[in-house]
Amino acid sequence: MTKNQPNREVEKGHCAVLWPLYNKTMNFYNRIHSKWRWSHFLNKILIVDANEFDCVEMSCVLNQNGYTHISVATNPKEALSIAKEQNPDLILINVDLEAIDGFELTKQILSLENNHSKVVHIANDVRHINLAKSKSSGAIDLLVKTRNFDYLSRTVHDLIES
């Protein structure tokens, strides 16, 4: 086909050519406006867990829900440096860390200068739940780690939007 010859496919029906583009655009638009919020793109989340697989799994779930600024730390020292640099809006901390426990790490992070982070503790097991200790260290909520991340997604959404 040369420049001067008309495109027969477009002449037959330009909708056949434009429909895939329109369909992709509308799917993206609907996904953003139904599930994602524009504020999700602005909020920073830090996940602190010694188990790298769990960090990746939680970050993937949050990313699927529209949160894009997610940092991961696998030890308390790394978590403190990220918290100082980025000042995340929400921090998810596993209470069963190796060097220091999540309760002590929470106190250290919340004592940082200009810190406005909300902290949620995550326990590996129901037996490790100590709600009083969690609240006294400064955490807003305490969750039990499961493979069903619906509750985590709802909790993060509620805390970010509040």
Residue by residue, pLDDT tens for the chain (162 residues) are: 455 544 444 444 444 444 444 445 445 555 544 444 545 557 899 999 998 988 889 998 888 888 888 999 999 999 999 999 999 999 999 988 888 888 899 999 999 988 889 999 998 877 767 788 888 899 998 888 887 788 888 888 888 877
pTM for this entry:
0.73
Domain definitions of the chain by residue range = 7-36, 38-161
Asked whether the CA dihedral 101, 104, 109, 110 is positive or negative, the reply is positive
The CATH number of 38-161 is 3.40.50.2300
Q: What three-state secondary structure class fits 122?
A: strand
